[in-house]
Structure 1
Amino acid sequence: MTLVRAGILAALLVAAVCLQVAAFPHVSFDGVVPNLALLLVVAAALVRGPDFAATLGFFAGLAIDLAPPADHVAGRWALALVVVGYVAGRVRQDAGTSAGAAVITVAASSFIGTSLFALSGMLLHDPAVPATEALAVIPVAVVYDVLLTPFVLPLAMRLLRRIEPHRVAY
């Protein structure tokens, strides 16, 4: 990947994280906002495969972990999005063929990512969010991400294909 393409990808990631932490809290439901970074990682998984998506997931998760107003132990979203990128990338042959399969992949990825984030908080005894509240947001997060999928996923996949078309996984 050239430096220009890496810069475009970094700008896309920064834009997703900034929207997620700055703009979307105004439309939150019970404190839950759509996870644009997760949708970008899933799009990368469907276009480029598990290795690329897991790497992007690490940087996306780290950006969320460090972006203000982060109130949790750093690294939890990084771990969750690495796993999401890898798992979504492993099912890309099935999910890339239809819109329904892509939506199911997003739902499963959102469930996995949010669950890993909540469970890692319980394991680390993170005082910011009690365990019962962390587990209660999982269904809301999945629904929110699925509702945003038709607007974000096709655009993100198209952009990722254009950034480096010769590296698209088939």
Structure 2
Amino acid sequence: MSPGPRFSSVPLPRVLATLIAVSVALVLQTSLFPHLAINGVVPDLVLLVVVAVGLAHGAETGLVLGFGAGLLLDLAPPADHYAGRWALALMVVGYVAGRLASAARPRVGQWLPVAAAASFVGTSVFALTGLALRDPAVGVGELLRVEVVAVAWDVALALVVVPLALGLFAKVEPDRVLA
């Protein structure tokens, strides 16, 4: 039985690149992109960075980063929901993206469906936890509309965000990046 992941041995360049990517995505998602919302749905840049981390570094790293990035998103103003919902959603997203990663550098046709599926799964987990917690902002009748808009936004932005993040991770740690 192998011991769990050794986080003390995570290279500093990976940590810095990941922190920069998540920070930039978080700032843009909470400050600029609310002005571009479609029917109140804002693109999930942080989710797309978590997808890129999962693709680049595997399921365990994606899961841990998804939890941390989701918690930051939960606590970042103007958060209007119970803390932990995005942490759970992005933790699942990071794990799933990491499990779907291939050993070779994927082409757009390979990682774009992963980004679309991750967007659907992440938005669904967030919305369903809202229903379970009786969040008044979430209506059952609106879930499908919100899902469609969120996935469309995320897939469109994934064409830019995921390659940029994968490129950043490959630059700082070319021998360790899976994708």
Q: Is TM-score (shorter-chain normalized) higher than 0.5?
A: yes
Structure 1 SS opposite 2:39: coil
Aligned residue pairs, count = 170
CA RMSD of superposed structures (Å):
1.8
Q: Taking structure 1 as the reference length, what is the TM-score of the superposition?
A: 0.92
Q: Does residue 72 of structure 2 align to residue 58 of structure 1?
A: no
Corresponding residue number in structure 1 for 2:149: 140
Q: Does residue 40 of structure 2 align to residue 31 of structure 1?
A: yes
The letter of the residue matching 1:123 is: A
1:133 positional shift: 2.9
Query: Does structure 1 retain, via aligned residues, the 8 Å contact 2:104–2:178?
Result: no
- Farther-moved stretch of structure 1 (93-102 vs 80-89): 93-102
State how 1:25-104 maps to structure 2 within 5 Å: 25-93=34-102, 96-104=105-113
Structure 2 SS opposite 1:167: coil
1:8 positional shift: 3.6
Give the direction of change, closer, same or farther, for the CA distance of 1:103–1:94 in structure 2 (3 Å limit).
Answer: farther
- Farther-moved stretch of structure 1 (156-165 vs 76-85): 156-165
Identity over aligned residues, as a percent? 51
Give the direction of change, closer, same or farther, for the CA distance of 1:2–1:88 in structure 2 (3 Å limit).
Answer: closer
Q: Does residue 110 of structure 2 align to residue 116 of structure 1?
A: no
In 2, distance between residues paired with 1:64 and 1:120?
15
Q: Taking structure 2 as the reference length, what is the TM-score of the superposition?
A: 0.87
In 1, distance between residues paired with 2:119 and 2:91?
12
1:16-55 alpha-carbon deviations (Å, 9 max, x no partner): 1110010001111001111110110111111111111111
- Indicate the structure with greater helix content: 1
